[in-house]
Amino acid sequence: MPQGKALRERSHELLAVKPDEVVLDVGCGTGHAVAELTSLGARAIGVDAGDALSFAREWFPSCDFRQGTAESLPVESSSVDCYRAQRLYHLLAEPSRALAEARRVLVPRGRIALIGQDYDMWAVASDDPELTRSLLRAYAQRMSTSNGGLKYRELLLDNGFTDVRVEVQAAVYTDHAALAPLLRQIAPSDADGWLAEQAERGSRDRFLAVLPSFLVVGVRAAAQQ
């Protein structure tokens, strides 16, 4: 979606990526961020543990993609200038382990960016706001870290990063069809007609969803903590 591309581009700006710097994209998925960073002149490396890596290698064959996890990165210590992870940390059961690994691979004063939604802050217009809030809360609680975005600043400060800055962007959706797959994840059953109401709102151009995303950047302390 356009909002995802805008978030990626803004994260590149906040990281102040320079040509020839090594940039690690953890949880790279299908590799779009790696391709964008490569086009900026960076030596980008994408790491992922999932099946999407095969698509990344097919779509961007000239880019460097490696199998690995956030807790065990296939790169040498103190070899990375910038580290980014988008829509990943809310899925991690122990994000501090991943940040310890980030500190290992980053050079002193290396930059880090965590980008992702806060699933407990989503808003969807509805005639039944109480039901909507309960559905959104239940969906958020399926995540390992339901309010991950809101915790990014604290996580970085608690795990050896300094100069932490926070930026929030809100994606506004008025096209029901674009978000219908996500709505079906939020309410796997019709939930007393909630999905039907959202579809009906879409047919009358009354659908509205607001999804806030956090972009939090920091710097690895010059001395390991």
Q: 162: part of which helix (H) or strand (E)?
A: strand 161-173
Domains and CATH numbers, the chain: 2-220 (3.40.50.150)
d(CA 58, CA 79): 26
The Cα-based distances of 185 to 25, 77, 99, 179 in angstroms read: 26, 39, 29, 10
Q: CA angle 118-95-124, nearest 5°? A: 10
The reported pTM is 0.89
* Residue whose structure tokens are 């382990």: 97
Question: For the segment 6-53, what is each residue's pLDDT rounded down to a tens digit?
Answer: 899 999 999 999 999 999 999 999 999 999 999 999 999 999 998 999
pLDDT recorded at residue 2: 60
d(CA 189, CA 103): 42
Question: For the segment 184-224, what is each residue's pLDDT rounded down to a tens digit?
Answer: 999 987 777 999 999 999 999 999 999 899 999 999 988 75
Question: For the segment 106-160, what is each residue's pLDDT rounded down to a tens digit?
Answer: 999 999 999 998 888 889 999 999 999 999 999 988 877 766 788 999 999 999 9
pLDDT recorded at residue 79: 98
